[in-house]
A and B are shown apart, each in its own frame.
Chain A
């Protein structure tokens, strides 16, 4: 396959940046999208050009590092996958592929396609945890009875890998799906009840402080989420938030 790539190049956070066009040849349909970028970078290095910076780590859909906006969609045209799980067979010979970093004011570009997603870390640090005494007398979590439905919902919420596709897909650059997943994974479990009010207030406060937008329920985040995190989590977080606000 021969492809025309339109790739965002940006020297650093201060640089204005812009698109650069590249041609790549010999791309096999069984290659992953990141392997195609590896081919591009190999070519660029051979030509003495600075290779395109992009984030990647596990390359098996677990770490959420490989966040790219591909032809106007986070992680490309496929569903329930990360960029590393996107295969080139989704494209045709001669296609033009536009590759950009995830865009949000809270996700500043570091270089080329690499963005700073530490805003997510700060939201998590604000309350995405439970305080447990680990001095040796901790009760075994498996000894606490939990309804199957709640345990499943908590587990599904916990599958969020924090890739940022929800923010990238949202027309408002809202982080509500991410934050609500991190709130829900504890709110649904007895271990999370004790700090529930403080958690949701602090995490929403931090989310707002980072400059993410409002949720307008377009549902784009749920569609583009590689783990299929449900909008139900946003409704749950809103309930938790209102309840915590009223309780003071």
Chain B
């Protein structure tokens, strides 16, 4: 297996695997967030479990952060290699003639998602760390719903920015999710079904997040 870590295929497979892992996380995150729309008490209960469970905090969370960091760093590494592979650009390049905009601009949609993650960490993750480890507040299992809703209530700019970022996440997933299966070597009779599923997922989950943000904004006017 010598040299596999330097191979273009191995890097793309690693990229695909980390992407699939993040897709799983996204589905789980959406499921939990959606409970905030239908049942605030359930949302508090699950959030409290996720925020205090040792396995989630000490094992799954570091793995998730590693996955996110790896996916973004590898994305930039691949982009640099690709720029080197065509050192002189075309005078005229008609990419739209043979490929979709989303497939050609994964780095752009990825950068927007990265910027969104920065804001998301600033809004939720960093305050959570401060709450638990800096201020060492007492355990409060009922705070999560109010804290989440407070971010969107009366803030149309933040709500709008979240919605815009989720549109870019949708664009990223529209190509990336299906593409990861092709990279893993899966192109057979099941591929049309996988494409339909991945496209549906890429639209439903990000738009679901948009719905949650807008719901909490209007619900607290």
Contacts and interface: CB of A to CB of B under 8 A. Distances in A.
A98 B183 CA distance: 34
A241 B7 contact: yes
Interface stretch (A32-40, A57-65, A228-236): A228-236
Given A172-B85, A235-B182, A248-B1, A69 B90 contact: yes
A65 B1 CA distance: 37
Contacts of B81: 213-214
A216 B8 contact: no
A157 B175 CA distance: 25
B185 A77 contact: no
Contacts of B133: none
Interface of A is mostly: mixed
A234 B182 contact: yes
A245 B4 contact: yes
B35 interface: no
Given A105-B86, A172-B85, A215-B12, A100 B185 contact: no
Contacts of A106: 85
B193 interface: no
A98 B89 CA distance: 14
Interface residues of B, number: 42
A204 interface: yes
A71 interface: yes
Contacts, number: 136
Given A103-B88, A235-B187, A208 B7 contact: yes
Interface in B78-133: 78, 81-82, 84-95, 97-100, 103-104, 106
A217 B182 contact: yes
Contacts of A236: 185, 187
Nearest to B93: A72
Contacts of B187: 231-232, 234-236
Q: How many residues of A sit at the interface, in one of the four size bands?
A: 35 or more
A72 B100 CA distance: 15
A161 interface: no
A211 interface: yes
Given A174-B85, A245-B4, A218 B100 contact: yes
B82 A235 contact: no
Nearest to B89: A103
A173 B184 CA distance: 20
A173 B98 contact: no
Interface of B is mostly: helix
Given A77-B97, A219-B99, A238-B183, A208 B92 contact: no
Interface string B1-22: 1011011111111000000000
B96 to A, nearest CB: 9
27 contacts: A19-B91, A69-B92, A72-B92, A72-B94, A98-B92, A104-B86, A105-B85, A171-B99, A171-B104, A172-B82, A174-B8, A204-B7, A207-B8, A208-B8, A211-B85, A212-B85, A213-B82, A213-B84, A216-B179, A217-B179, A218-B100, A218-B103, A237-B9, A238-B9, A242-B10, A245-B1, A248-B1
Given A212-B85, A214-B82, A220-B99, 10 more contacts: A19-B91, A72-B93, A72-B95, A100-B92, A105-B84, A171-B82, A173-B85, A220-B95, A231-B182, A246-B1
Q: 7 nearest interchain CB pairs?
A: A72-B94, A235-B187, A213-B85, A239-B185, A218-B99, A223-B98, A173-B85
